[in-house]
Amino acid sequence: MSIGNSPEDERPFEDVSEEARPSVGRALQQARIAAGLTVDDVSTATRVRIAIVHAIEADDFTPCGGDVYARGHIRTLAKAVDLDPAPLIAQFEAEHGGGRPAPTPAAPLFEAERIRPERRGPNWTAAMVAAIVVVIGFVGFTMVKGDDDGGKANVADGATPTKSPSSTPKSEKPVVPEPEPSDSAIAAAPQDKVTVRVTAADGRSWISAKDHSGRLLFDGLLKQGDSKTFQDSSKINLVLGDAGAIDLFVNGKKIEDDWQPGAVERLTYTKGDPQAG
């Protein structure tokens, strides 16, 4: 028998007093049972692991990985059982350090949302940017060569070329592609691509990114000030562990959303966004 599959058999903790306010975990458990949901149902709907749901209902927030992520779990579970999360968040903050988030370890970060790393394939984004740089360099070289050929034609027609004081030819330096796409390179990318740039502007956040085929592009922690750029032919799927700390740009335009600190957001963008919503 799986854990939490029989809500009728679950009983809330007995109150010592009728007037006692229930704890955060107990309030979530009572609301879940009243809604006729099992722990498995809530875990499936929220993607919060069964063990973490059980721990939160027992008022054990250690598996959450810190107060910031605990508030995110409480908000997610409360919405799943049709409960207003605001009073529960306030009660949690009053009972755990007066609302000031305690420092959290870098790992494991938001363990409920981590995606198992997959085998990484070729870095098509870097290859495409390198190809764009080569094309731009070739066009510039062709234009310079065309100007030189025009000057030679004028000399052949009888014009007298003017010599510069220094006639030493200058050697051309090879164009070296940069390791990561720059803003100008992204702007020059074909319009039939989707380009997503994620910046940890207001704090650190764990993020995950996949392309249209489900191949994992990135899975890790962005420290404050770090940025990552992802590009695909049709679709980018994102998971933001702390959406309130993120600035998001899609196809060169900033996404203006009022994401709260600690909120977990699952987003999908295509080459028509943000115009297509």
Q: pLDDT class for 179, splitting at 50, 70, 90?
A: very low
Domain end residue (candidates: 69, 89, 113): 113
User: Total structural domains in the chain?
Assistant: 2
Residues 62 and 185 reside in one and the same domain = no
Residues 85 and 52 reside in one and the same domain = yes
Residue 1 has pLDDT above 70, yes or no: no
Residues 134 and 210 reside in one and the same domain = yes
Query: In this structure, what token pair is assigned to residue 40?
Result: 């498995």
Domain end residue (candidates: 58, 87, 113): 113
Extract long-range pairs of 263-268: CB within 8 Å, 24+ residues apart.
263/72, 263/75, 264/72, 264/76, 264/110, 264/113, 264/239, 264/240, 265/238, 265/239, 265/240, 266/237, 266/238, 266/239, 267/237, 267/238, 267/239, 267/240, 268/235, 268/236, 268/237, 268/238
Residues 195 and 133 reside in one and the same domain = yes
Query: In this structure, what token pair is assigned to residue 109?
Result: 């970060």
Residues 82 and 143 reside in one and the same domain = no
- 10-37 residue pLDDT tens: 555 444 444 567 899 999 999 999 999 9
Peptide bond into 12 cis (omega under 30): no
DSSP 23: P
Residue 207 lies in a domain: yes
Q: Which of 184, 84, 81, 87 is nearest to 132 (CA)?
A: 184
Residues 129 and 109 reside in one and the same domain = no
- Which residues are bridge partners to 270 per DSSP? 235
Residues 76 and 183 reside in one and the same domain = no
Residues 136 and 73 reside in one and the same domain = no
Residue 237 lies in a domain: yes
Pairing relationship of beta strands 265-270 and 205-210 according to DSSP bridges: unpaired
> Is 197 in contact with 228 (CB distance < 8 Å)?
yes
Instruction: Give buried/exposed letters for 126-150 (b at 16+ CB in 10 A, else e).
Output: eebbbebbeeeeeeeeeeeeeeeee
Residues 49 and 26 reside in one and the same domain = yes
The Cα–Cα gap between 162 and 63 comes to 78
- 71-101 residue pLDDT tens: 999 999 999 999 999 999 999 998 876 545 4
Instruction: Give buried/exposed letters for 203-219 (b at 16+ CB in 10 A, else e).
Output: bbbbbbbbbeeeebbeb
The Cα–Cα gap between 250 and 53 comes to 34
Residues 99 and 33 reside in one and the same domain = yes
> Is 183 in contact with 231 (CB distance < 8 Å)?
no
Range of the domain at 135: 124-147+179-270
Q: Which of 20, 23, 72 is nearest to 46 (CA)?
A: 72
Residue 132 lies in a domain: yes
Residue 276 lies in a domain: no
Residue 168 lies in a domain: no
Residue 119 lies in a domain: no
Domain end residue (candidates: 113, 133, 155): 113
Q: What is the pLDDT of residue 172?
A: 61
> Is 231 in contact with 238 (CB distance < 8 Å)?
no
Residue 25 lies in a domain: yes
CATH number, domain of 43, equals 1.10.260.40
pLDDT mean over 237-258: 86
Q: What is the pLDDT of residue 142?
A: 77
Q: Which of 37, 11, 12 is nearest to 23 (CA)?
A: 12
Residues 210 and 99 reside in one and the same domain = no
Residue 95 lies in a domain: yes
pTM of the model: 0.34
Residues 53 and 130 reside in one and the same domain = no
Give the residue, 159 or 91, on which the prediction is more confident: 91
